[in-house]
Amino acid sequence: MRDIEKVNAEIEEVKKELENVHGTGTEVYARIVGYYRSVRNWNKGKREEYNHRLMFSSENERIEKTLSDCDCPPISGSLNFSNSENLSEKKEQIA
C-alpha cells in the first residue's frame, strides 16, 4: 500500500509533466466547391474567407419566423393543410 507522501510526490511529478505538454499539428479539411480539401492547401483568398465562416449547428437552432412575420401579401386561393378536415376539403377542391 502507498502512503500519502508517495501519492503526493506522484501528483507533483505528473503536474510538472503536464506543464510541458505540446500538441501536434492537425490538418483541417473543409468543403470547398463541392469536395473536401485540406485548408492548408487552399489559396490565400479562400483561407481568409474560411476564417470568416460561421459554424452552424442545427441541433440547437429553431426557425422563429412564422407566416405572421412575413411582409408578403397573402395569396388568394392558397391551400392550407393545417388540419385533416381542411385537408380533405382542399383535396376535393383540387380533384
For the segment 40-53, what is each residue's pLDDT rounded down to a tens digit? 888 888 888 888 88
Provide the residue range defining the domain that includes 48: 28-53
Q: Is residue 23 one of the residues assigned to a domain?
A: no
Res 11: pLDDT: 94
**Phi and psi at residue 79, to the nearest 5°:** -90, 135
Q: Is residue 85 one of the residues assigned to a domain?
A: no
Q: Is residue 16 one of the residues assigned to a domain?
A: no
Q: Which residues of 28-49 are buried (b: 16+ CB within 10 A; e: fewer)?
A: eeeeeeeeeeeeeeeeeeeeee
Q: How many domains does the chain have?
A: 1
pTM across the whole model: 0.29
Expressed in angstroms, the distance from the first to the final Cα of the chain is 85
Q: Three-state DSSP class for 20?
A: coil
Q: What is the mean pLDDT of residues 5-17?
A: 93
Q: Is residue 41 one of the residues assigned to a domain?
A: yes
Q: Is residue 78 one of the residues assigned to a domain?
A: no
Q: Is residue 42 one of the residues assigned to a domain?
A: yes
